[in-house]
């Protein structure tokens, strides 16, 4: 291949050349220097950062989350944050170690909050479902009572009194007859006729 046809890798080589000038491969650099190299797009520097920090990042995350599977996921998110946001690292503010620890702790806390939020939403949904069921039952009961009330209005005065005293107040035929001052047989007849009319009105078969 002609020399002019070769791809220009000067930018990719620059961080590595800088590392060589400092005395060796990225793995020989300190974390702060590696992060600055990562910010310039040095893949080898990122691999070195990963190798140096992944295990203790996982330890920080796991102390917050406890769950091994979630901790592994969050650790990977932290390492991705380092790759994407290495340019935000400022050694004047703090060390690379402190910067990465802050990212790891924040990511772990965010995951805990997200899990709690999901749990709270599920709990509220469950409560809402219960409330809806209760409201539905109350509405149906109210409609049923309204139907019964309207059907009772179709009875004669004596039929209505007999049904209400016997079925709503628990009186016997004899007690109803005594309260209304009519023969017991009359009460039984009016009760039977009233119940037949209610059955037809309510559509009971």
CATH of the domain at 62: 1.10.1740.10
Q: Does 16 share its domain with 63?
A: yes
153 and 114 within one domain: no
Mean pLDDT of 68-72: 90
Domain match, 45 and 21 both: yes
Does 202 or 58 have the greater pLDDT score?
58
Q: Diameter of the chain by CA atoms?
A: 124
Q: Which of 51, 43, 56 is nearest to 100 (CA)?
A: 56
Of 16 and 25, the structure prediction assigns the larger pLDDT to 25
What is the pLDDT averaged over residues 152-174? 76
> Rounded to an integer, what distance in angstroms lies between the CA atom of residue 54 and that of residue 75?
7
- Is a pLDDT exceeding 70 seen at residue 122? no
Return the number of other C-beta atoms located less than 10 Å from residue 110's C-beta: 13
pLDDT by residue (tens digit) across 88-114? 999 888 899 999 999 999 999 888 888
Band of residue 167 on the pLDDT scale cut at 50, 70, 90: low
110-116: Cβ within 8 A, 24+ apart: 111/64, 111/65, 111/70, 111/74, 112/64, 112/65
Q: Is 74's pLDDT higher than 80? A: yes
pLDDT at 5: 43
Q: What is the pTM of this model?
A: 0.47
CA–CA distances in Å: residue 77 to residues 24, 87, 100, 169: 29, 17, 12, 70
CATH number of the domain bearing residue 159: 1.10.10.10
**pLDDT number for residue 125:** 55
Q: What is the pLDDT of residues 180-195, one digit of tens each?
A: 788 888 888 887 887 8
* Lowest pLDDT segment from 69-83, 125-139, 145-159, 179-193: 125-139
Residue 155, domain extent: 135-202
Q: Is residue 128 part of a domain?
A: no
Q: Give how far Cα 191 sits from Cα of 148, 172, 188, 199, 203, Å.
A: 16, 11, 5, 12, 18
Are 166 and 191 in contact by the 8 Å Cβ rule? The answer is yes
Q: Which of 42, 43, 70 minimizes the C-alpha distance to 58?
A: 70
Say whether both 96 and 50 belong to one domain.
yes
């Amino acid at each position: 291949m002609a020399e002019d046809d070769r791809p220009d890798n000067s930018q990719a080589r620059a961080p590595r050349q800088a590392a060589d000038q400092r005395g060796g491969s990225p793995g020989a650099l300190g974390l702060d220097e590696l992060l600055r190299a990562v910010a310039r797009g040095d893949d080898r520097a990122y691999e070195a950062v990963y190798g140096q920090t992944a295990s203790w990042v996982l330890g920080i995350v796991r102390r917050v989350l406890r769950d091994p599977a979630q901790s592994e996921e969050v650790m990977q998110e932290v390492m991705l944050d380092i790759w994407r946001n290495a340019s935000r690292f400022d050694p004047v503010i703090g060390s690379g170690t402190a910067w990465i620890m802050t990212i790891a702790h924040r990511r772990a806390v965010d995951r805990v909050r997200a899990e709690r939020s999901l749990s709270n939403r599920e709990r509220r949904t469950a409560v809402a479902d219960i409330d809806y069921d209760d409201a539905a039952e109350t509405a149906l009961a109210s409609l049923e009572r309204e139907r019964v009330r309207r059907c009772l209005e179709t009875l004669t005065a004596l039929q209505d009194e007999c049904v209400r005293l016997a079925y709503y107040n628990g009186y016997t035929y004899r007690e109803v007859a005594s309260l209304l001052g009519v023969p017991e047989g009359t009460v039984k007849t009016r009760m039977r006729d009233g119940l037949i009319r209610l059955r037809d009105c309510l559509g009971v078969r």
